[in-house]
Chains A and B, each alone.
Chain A
């Protein structure tokens, strides 16, 4: 479905006071474009932000990563968990810092939203691992940010968002159908994509945010889109948090086939998802500061 760029522009132009990513994160992303960058170099940059460092260390030592020994410096976190893991924790922390708080809108609970997002992130990481993908952290971040557009709507296009939620409740619609009606064809996916570009996120992430609802429209990052699509549904199915929908969207058949979970194996995968959601509680503690 062609996105009405004009409509989208009309909406985002009205957004004032959008938070920016911390400089540290921007710098780290930039540094990591140089393949010869060392753990110590990245570590030094991150350690300049004391608050970020403390939060990163809390996350890398959490049950989510499960490393048996204590990790005491960011540099060690990098050499033990990898560059991407540390960057994804830094990214998570930054996103929570920017959008973590905020009031309650009827029909849209921020805490439930983040619970769902963290759950989807953890699930996407499990699926990526099952598929032997190398970029587990990319899957995690993609899962975490897949619905970030909803937060933007809630925070900056609030009146319309309230209307959307009303439609969802009264007409028992899927949130994205209600968005199309209210926003003239635009959904939180496009808004999320716009934020991603604005924040200089990796193109892969932007594409997944825009396409995970119907992965077949993703061109370069089909696999990752499928992972996030299925992770989102599994998390919804297990009622881990809530992202505004009261109905289950239909699963995309080819995405499900791509993930290739045999039916007999499904219960054990769901169990794993539940356990992982529990392990990722440390992330959730960062949301409500």
Chain B
């Protein structure tokens, strides 16, 4: 019989029996199983890297680093290069970070610095959380039928009036960088807002009180005290939001146009690594799949570096405020 202190105590028997050998056995089996599960996360990532690497190996051997600087993707001529995709990935994510990051930090301030009644605050927080819950593919659909028709007149006007300016050098003919970046901005906003809001909440209350005590106005406190103090946490939010944007797939595959051009124009169609995978993979032959595996390895590397950087900043922030509350 298994020794169970709970049952024993209820029946009023002695509690002093030591665990039986079978208890020790079960305990150590259970703990080694838990250890294996924790190990499985490490093994999973290692296996992913290994598997993608070995699948991409023929392509890596054949194209080398020229894969990263090449600009054509042509299956018939066996020519593969992902520079336009890397450019599109970074450009669209940076644009999204500019819009979504700015909005996200503003919202974090709005949610944490006591601008409204607690109930309205909960409402806004729920809205931001739900923004993150909407599936990517639904944003894509919304982008096609709502956002693109909505921004097209504005894009047309900008092109007509400021066409000499490189950013507006082409007209928005349908899908393109601008709608893709806008949808991306909406999608990373909750990430940035949540991590930044957390950074604001970590600031000890006395910091704020001290600033108010010196006669600062609400916004002087926010801009001169709270923002600098939370800056590393906000930076972590921005970097992690950027990482999210880099890997986002479906909405981009539906909105960016999937054209392998390098253009600075906001309204030109472009392509990203993730949407290249989404749009090309299902119909690809063996050679092209090897090239796509190489492309996914590049994507993995970029997002890994960005995410590790973001997490490092975040952990630095957490340590900074530990024990100061």
Does B bind A?
no
Residues of B at the A interface (CB closer than 8 Å) are none
